């Protein structure tokens, strides 16, 4: 054995240890990134939920800040970008001269609100007002997911009604001082409400704007990063296998075939993801899918041509 052989073995061992150390660093770094992203996701989700639950109060005509007024609480229940609707539950709570000791209405009131299919609603005196379900139409572009945002207008008006001697209720034009309180319980959506105006007839108009929360957007972009990383890895491995002197193994084709099904599955796990055709599909998903499919086709052509060449040679 020459003196050069131990030196070669030592170099191989040093290279092996260096690669193992680099591998441990990469794995540890990746795990650290996952932990950090997970913590930030929970923090962002909790922050969004806390901000949405905070009530946004808007005052109506003169007297709405006094002791005699009616609170109209609008609670956002569901946001459906695919259907283009926002479901809102409205509850009425009287105060002062408008309220009986048990919380029932002291006077009959009429409530007009956007998104109610039955027109105006009459709330009878002596009864606790029941909740009212509204379906508002939202404006926005779903194809911009996950940076899509939506807005809608909500107008609520309260007025007194009187009962005629014949028992028929007649709507009066006397406006009722009211306070409109808007809140939500959507952990995946961030809510912002701005006042549009207060009209002489007692109506209060607000603009409700929503966009996907920080946690939802961060998780969606993280999955996009994973798709791009997998596509790049597929291209790199296929290129290394093709230029290598070793014959292509069948496991490469099985792995690339599994990748073609894995990428759509990753896309499908994004929170609130709509159907195919959004911005992220044209920017990332389609290209990653084409890259993996191209790798599979290229590897298959290389394998077939190499096998045929060897067959002719023999």
* Count of domains forming the chain: 3
| Residue 35 sits in the same domain as residue 62 | no
CA distances in angstroms from 216 to 42, 163, 268, 304, listed in the order given? 10, 51, 14, 45
313 pLDDT above the threshold of 70: yes
| Residue 113 sits in the same domain as residue 63 | yes
| Residue 68 sits in the same domain as residue 189 | yes
| Residue 189 sits in the same domain as residue 112 | yes
| Residue 64 sits in the same domain as residue 148 | yes
50 pLDDT above the threshold of 90: no
Over the stretch 159-217, which tens digit does the pLDDT of each residue have? 888 766 665 656 667 889 999 999 887 778 888 999 998 988 889 999 999 999 888 88
Over the stretch 81-114, which tens digit does the pLDDT of each residue have? 989 999 999 999 999 999 998 889 998 888 888 8
Domain boundary among 211, 239, 257: 211
| Residue 40 sits in the same domain as residue 120 | no
| Residue 125 sits in the same domain as residue 152 | yes
Q: Token digits for 121?
A: 């609603």
| Residue 15 sits in the same domain as residue 149 | no
| Residue 225 sits in the same domain as residue 298 | yes
Domain boundary among 178, 211, 244: 211
pTM: 0.80
Domain boundary among 174, 191, 211: 211
| Residue 113 sits in the same domain as residue 44 | no
| Residue 78 sits in the same domain as residue 119 | yes
| Residue 154 sits in the same domain as residue 229 | no
Task: Look up the domain containing 263 and give its range.
Answer: 213-314
């Amino acid at each position: 054995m020459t003196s050069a052989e131990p030196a070669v073995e030592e170099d191989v061992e040093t290279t092996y240890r260096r690669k193992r150390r680099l591998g441990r660093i990469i794995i540890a770094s990746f795990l650290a990134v996952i932990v950090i992203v997970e913590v930030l996701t929970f923090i962002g989700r909790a922050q969004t939920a806390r901000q949405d639950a905070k009530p946004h109060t808007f005052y109506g005509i003169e007297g709405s800040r006094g002791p005699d007024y009616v609170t109209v609480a609008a609670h956002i229940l569901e946001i459906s970008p695919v259907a283009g609707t926002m479901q809102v539950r409205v509850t009425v709570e009287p105060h002062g001269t408008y309220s009986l000791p048990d919380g029932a209405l002291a006077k009959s009131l009429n409530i007009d609100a956007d998104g109610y299919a039955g027109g105006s609603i009459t709330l009878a005196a002596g009864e606790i007002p029941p909740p009212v379900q509204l379906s508002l139409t939202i404006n926005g572009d779903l194809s911009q997911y996950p940076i899509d945002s939506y807005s809608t207008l909500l107008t609520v008006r309260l007025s007194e009604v009187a009962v005629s001697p014949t028992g028929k209720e007649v709507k009066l034009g006397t406006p009722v001082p009211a306070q409109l309180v808007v809140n939500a319980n959507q952990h995946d959506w961030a809510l912002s409400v701005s006042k549009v105006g207060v009209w002489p007839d007692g109506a209060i108009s607000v603009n409700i704007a929503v966009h996907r929360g920080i946690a939802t957007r961060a998780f969606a972009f993280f999955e996009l990063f994973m798709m791009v990383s997998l596509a790049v890895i597929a291209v790199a491995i296929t290129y290394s296998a093709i230029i290598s002197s070793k014959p292509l193994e069948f496991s490469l084709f099985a792995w690339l075939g599994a990748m073609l099904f894995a990428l759509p599955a990753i896309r499908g796990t994004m929170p609130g993801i709509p159907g195919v055709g959004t911005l992220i599909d044209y920017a990332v998903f389609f290209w990653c899918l084409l890259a993996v499919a191209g790798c599979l086709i290229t590897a298959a052509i290389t394998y077939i041509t190499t096998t045929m060449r060897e067959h002719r040679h023999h």
